[in-house]
A = this chain, B = another copy of it.
Amino acid sequence: MVNVGIVGASGYTGGELLRLLLSRQDISVTLATSRKHNGEYVFRVHPNLKSITTLKFSNPSIDNIAKSCDYVFLAVPHGSAVNLVPKLLEVGLKVIDLSADFRLKDPKDYEKWYKFKHPFPDLLEKAVYGLPELHFDEIRKASLVANPGCTSTATILSLAPLVKNNLIDAERIIVDVKIGSSGVGGSPSIFSHHPERTYVVRPYQVASHRHTAEVEQELKRISNKNVKIGMTPHAVDIVRGILSTSYGFTNEKIQLSQIWHAYREAYNGRKFIRLVKDVQGLEKLPDPKYVVGSNFCDIGFELDERFGRIIAFSAIDNLMKGASGQAVQNLNIMLGLDETTGLLIPSLHPV
């Protein structure tokens, strides 16, 4: 039995970790922290867990975490994990950090994109970027996994085979992201107020989204090329889900079969990648509707010969493959288990 703790368990990613871990026979959730809800039943904040667990939130403390856990998930806001992680590592814990605090390798990127000087540049080197489809072996041996961002996960997975195989101009990639409201987390504001958040297609951070840094970093690492991503997110009227649409210019005349080949080679045997490009049926190209609640990443594409571009689509559930599902996938790998353990959950149809 592996003992795991969740720091920041009252948010949506924390709740999703609980949903996934509480049904596991091989795992014991020994700790779910929340300062705000200390002492309260978790099902009051996550009503889906009523009759599933009688766990209560507790206050976080290094001592408590060290005492009760082998593995700990940090589901805290960006900037809160950075000082916690070294202390947790020091007491011998394995850490899966869902924040952005250890995702970037270059400390300068934190100054550029996150506007703060990273206090532990050495840990940035040690941390493994937790995208199993790219870094499986490193994750297995990691003591600190930096769990990727949601839009980054979707975008990297759809672009990596194209960039690696030189099918598109890596310095002129346009990424148009559509994302549901759960991406903002559980804190209400006028922009998430139902009357204002319903019926929107609302662009935001249109030239400055911080996940851009992760995407460029990972695509550079996989291709040893300079990569430039122009990412623009849009809030749409769904709760869970991301569709990332990437546009790449083809350098020369290519065939559709080359694209198929690139994707098949990259994701051969990867259980959570589904290539979706059909001429029949309800899902002809990726659509977040069909991954809600699952850990799948649906990837599809089209070649626009007239224009000279490849359009690559990827759909994920931002709380699953985009956060907590992927975090559990990383845990499985760290534990030496099959990475799909407890995660081959089909989505709901319809939802």
Contacts and interface: CB of A to CB of B under 8 A. Distances in A.
Interface string A123-145: 00000000000000000000000
A283 B47 contact: yes
B239 A245 contact: no
Interface string A188-229: 111111111111111110110000000000000000000011
Interface stretch (A83-91, A101-109, A342-350): A342-350
B178 A236 contact: yes
Oligomer copy total: 4
A268 to B, nearest CB: 13
Contacts of A349: 12, 15-16, 19, 46-49
A303 interface: yes
Contacts of A176: 176, 245, 247
Contact of A52 (B40, B51, B306, B346): B346
Given A206-B285, A302-B206, A349-B19, A48 B236 contact: no
Given A202-B289, A240-B348, 19 more contacts: A23-B345, A44-B280, A47-B281, A50-B276, A50-B283, A174-B309, A176-B176, A176-B245, A182-B195, A182-B350, A190-B282, A192-B194, A193-B194, A198-B239, A203-B285, A203-B287, A203-B313, A206-B302, A240-B351
Interface of A: 12, 15-16, 19, 22-23, 40-41, 43-52, 172, 174, 176, 178, 180-182, 186-204, 206-207, 228-230, 232, 234, 236-241, 243, 245, 247, 249, 271, 274, 276, 278, 280-290, 292-294, 296, 298, 300, 302-304, 306-307, 309, 311, 313, 315, 344-351
